[in-house]
Amino acid sequence: MIRFASIAAIGLAASLAAPVCAQDTEVDEPLPAGPPKTVFDGDFLSLGVGVGYNASYSGSDDYNVNILPIVQASVAGIKVNPRPAGIALDLVPDPDEGIAFSAGPMVRLRSDRVDAEDIDDEVVASYGELDRAVELGASVGVSFPQLLNPFDSLSVNVDAAWDVAGAHGGMYWSPGVTYFTPLSRATAASLTLSTTFIDDDFADYYYSVPTINTLLPDEDVLPGFEAEGGMQSYGVNLLLAHDLSGDVTDGGLSLVAIGGWSKLVGDAADTPFTSIRGDNDQYFVALGVGYTF
């Protein structure tokens, strides 16, 4: 089944608009003293679309194909960065060199189990559809450039958001660390380690299981379960991006590949939705194309 989603949006768009430059593999070309000017130093717009393959809901062992629309931009010093099914604004100007900070509001939609047609497991589907959550919050981060070469960076970021639509009515916060480095003038890679924490309301809404389900025969009814908050998951993503013009600094058309794994822990893993009907190991892959101008 194909549906619109954005499970890999942050990694895809980051690669489409990475403000770095890598040296050529030609050994006789001298390295510049520092990163040169790029299309990303002023106003820019990156548009992309990808195809992803990921679990149909948190804890599922069934996988769906997803369309990943991406938009990333910088206008008048305000940067627009993607989030899964949402965006985050960075209102802090970047310095010409040295450590850079980011901070701004964010919004995202959470559509876990909102459509029974997207739930391939009939037992889980019988427990009903959930409401779509609208999560508002903030994102803050810091980036350290030129750690191992003149063009790499290490970034630390934290997102925190609360549901304002009355779905789960709770909150989550998610810290992550990303190392980015060019592999050549045309190709770049990033590795991200992240984890997510949830509160009791969030956990209860998505992972608690009622003791009674009249839609199922007795032998298929899942054990009752009351979920509490805590760590929800941890994981790792690897991203590779290749600029088709041969130079990541001039914008244009690029190809992106992403692979990721995350592991549900705590009550997100112990709920019967995961432990009996699903899997706490979650995988995704995505392929995309984007254009920056």
Which tokens sit at 25? 């593999």
Q: What is the mean pLDDT of residues 268-274?
A: 98
Which CATH number covers residue 106? 2.40.160.40
Which tokens sit at 2? 């194909």
pLDDT of 140 strictly over 50 = yes
Q: What pLDDT does residue 56 have? A: 93
Q: Which domain holds residue 265?
A: 2-292
Residue 194, strand partner residues: 176, 235
Please give the model's pTM, rounded to 2 decimal places: 0.87
Determine how many CB atoms are found less than 10 A away from the CB of residue 209.
Answer: 19
CA distance 66 to 89: 25
Q: What is the mean pLDDT of residues 107-125?
A: 93
Q: Give the lowest-confidence range in 40-44, 72-76, 161-165.
A: 40-44
Count how many Cα atoms sit within 13 Å of the Cα of residue 261 in the half-sphere of its side chain. 4
Phi, psi of 249, rounded to the nearest 5 degrees: -85, -10
Number of separate domains in the chain: 1
176 vs 7, more confident: 176
Q: What is the DSSP letter of 11?
A: H
Scored b (16 or more CB within 10 A) or e, 143-179 reads bebeeeebbbbbbebebbbbbeeebbbbbbbbebebb
Confidence of residue 6 (pLDDT cuts 50, 70, 90): very low
Confidence of residue 107 (pLDDT cuts 50, 70, 90): very high
Q: What pLDDT does residue 70 have? A: 81
Mean pLDDT for the chain overall: 88
Q: Which ranges in the chain belong to alpha helices (H)?
A: 9-16, 122-125, 200-207, 267-270, 272-275
Q: Which of 60-69, 152-161, 239-248 has the highest mean pLDDT?
A: 152-161
82 vs 262, more confident: 262
Q: What pLDDT does residue 195 have? A: 98
Q: What pLDDT does residue 28 have? A: 38
